[in-house]
Amino acid sequence: MANQEDIFKKVISHAKEYGYVFQSSEIYDGLSAVYDYAQNGVELKKNIREYWWQAMVQLNDNIVGIDAAIFMHPTTWKASGHVDAFNDPLIDNKDSKKRYRADVLIEDHVAKIEAKIEKEVKKAAKRFGDSFDKEQFLATNQRVLDYQTKVDGILKRMGKSLENEDLADVKSLIEELEIACPLSGSKNWTDVKQFNLMFGTKLGASADSAMDLYLRPETAQGIFVNFLNVQKTGRMKIPFGIAQTGKAFRNEIVARQFIFRMREFEQMEMQYFIKPGTQQEWYEKWKEKRMKWHLSLGMGEDNYRFHDHEKLAHYADAAADIEFRFPFGFKELEGIHSRTDFDLSQHEEFSGKKLQYFDPEENKSYVPYVLETSIGLDRMFLAVFSNSLKEEELENGTTRTVLKIPAVLAPTKAAVLPLLKRDGLPEVAHKLIDELRWDFNVIYDEKDAVGRRYRRQDAAGTPFCVTVDHQTLEDETVTIRHRDTMEQQRVKLSEVKDIISKEVDMRYWLQKI
């Protein structure tokens, strides 16, 4: 089996070859950690955004959307804590001159120990066969328990030192764990320093009157500052939510994982305003709801897990990540944070305006608590794309490359293929496309033998191929081929639209939530 690195390389090259993701400004050798979405990528991204938006806004009476500006008044970022505390701890290797995030170095070390646990589990599962009880094994096997104690100890210590801003201890931890630079193998480290991640820019023409601004590092603050506007104009009653998707910018120190960590990226965030004291209940509910959303896409339950935060951000009283099994291991895909009344209270203090809700049931006003769900659209894209890319061995001994993107998210739903370029077949194919394009993205392909065209569509992720042949001219039937099973059916031309609709309609997928 290919190793993780090879699989990831294949993902990146496939994304380029099939028109999903290009490096930004590639003709100038690119810009680090900035990417462009290509003709297929833009459709996949749009579909993921829409799938999220429908689940949040359309299907919930009490959640509405907004689209706030990227530029915000600079005081916003003082109030939110980003000016003072939006830092990453960084450390340089003196030999390779490479810069790392200290917490990521430690987490990668932990991931290696966790991989050992997984290996033990796999070995034992093989040995015990059907009678294997994973929970029991994890709770009783001494080797696994030792590894787990180690993991817990490291994360706890790291969490504590980061929380106390004890950067010297973070360095000591790296030294004690004998973590080496992945590039040079050297353990010759500088001290750990803090680095602010916000991009600064200026508003205004003349040098003296220009105002220093930041590109927003998260979309959430656009929601908080509009809380009262939305509550009043929408006559919203607590609990209610405000959802938003949009660009965010972070000057990431380590940005080497394709679209996993970008400097310009898109977030899909929802802030849920609740009564103080109910945060634990909503935290659990939203964790469950968000996991269901992920699972509805059918990408495999084993590929997700919750990770509770050891180190809580300055605004949170509980936080968990939904992690996904990326080609480079389990990593954060979405965060669910109980943000208390931190943000609204801060904005009250810095703006001097009241941001309170009058609760008619309690007959009093209060600053609501907030429960946040925050997912990176680009990370979700990478999760879908990398998980969908498969090399399959076929019965006849050949292999095929297939991109099994959930049909609801696929950029193009069907390709219509005339068997030959003559005898009136292209005309029938075009007529079918003209009918289908009102409902889905469809494409026409007449080049090469039909088998090659099937392979091309498999690799591009198109869930259906519809082939028009001579029999079509006689009895108005076509062959419809399913990407995942390669099964072919002969169906009436008039049924094609319904067959595709059933499998790509968001309604069908969202009903699983």
Write out the residues near ligand ATP by the rule CB under 6 A.
Answer: 218, 250, 252, 261-262, 265, 267, 332-335, 374-376, 378-379
Least distance to ligand ATP, CB of residue 222, Å: 14
Q: Are 20 and 40 in contact (CB under 8 A)?
A: yes
Least distance to ligand ATP, CB of residue 124, Å: 32
Which residue is listed with tokens 């965010």? 248
Nearer to ligand ATP, 250 or 483 (CB): 250
Least distance to ligand ATP, CB of residue 106, Å: 13
Please calculate the CA angle 380-384-389 and round it to the nearest 5 degrees. Answer: 150
Q: Are strands 240-249 and 63-65 parallel, antiparallel or unpaired?
A: parallel
Chain centroid to CA 106: how far?
Answer: 23
Least distance to ligand ATP, CB of residue 248, Å: 7
Q: Name the binding residues for ATP.
A: 250-252, 260-265, 332-333, 376-379
Nearer to ligand ATP, 335 or 418 (CB): 335
Any bridge partners for residue 252, and if so which?
none
Nearer to ligand ATP, 43 or 252 (CB): 252
Any bridge partners for residue 318, and if so which?
338
Nearer to ligand ATP, 262 or 409 (CB): 262
CA distances from 125 to 122, 134, 141, 390 (A): 5, 8, 13, 25
Nearer to ligand ATP, 273 or 324 (CB): 324
Least distance to ligand ATP, CB of residue 62, Å: 23
Nearer to ligand ATP, 379 or 413 (CB): 379
The secondary structure of 75-87, three-state, reads: HHHHHCCHHHHCE
The secondary structure of 316-365, three-state, reads: CCEEEEEEEEECCEEEEEEEEEEEECHHHHHHHHHHCCCCCEEECCCCEE
In 3D, which of 313, 312, 335 has the Cα closest to residue 322? 335
Q: Are 358 and 365 in contact (CB under 8 A)?
A: yes
Q: Name the binding residues.
A: 101, 218, 250-252, 260-269, 332-333, 372-379
Please give the Cα distance from 249 to 240 (Å, whole number).
27
Please give the Cα distance from 245 to 266 (Å, whole number).
7
- Measured from each CB, the residue nearest to ligand ATP is 376
Least distance to ligand ATP, CB of residue 257, Å: 9
What single letter denotes the amino acid at residue 109? H
Please give the Cα distance from 302 to 325 (Å, whole number).
8
Nearer to ligand ATP, 113 or 312 (CB): 312
> Coil, strand, or helix at residue 193?
strand
Give 329-332's long-range contacts (Cβ < 8 A, gap of 24+).
329/4, 329/111, 329/115, 330/111, 330/114, 330/305, 331/260, 332/307, 332/379
| CB proximity list for 297: less than 8 A, separation 6 or greater | 51, 384, 406, 408, 409, 509
Least distance to ligand ATP, CB of residue 338, Å: 13
Nearer to ligand ATP, 201 or 471 (CB): 201
Least distance to ligand ATP, CB of residue 335, Å: 4
Least distance to ligand ATP, CB of residue 268, Å: 9
Nearer to ligand ATP, 215 or 262 (CB): 262
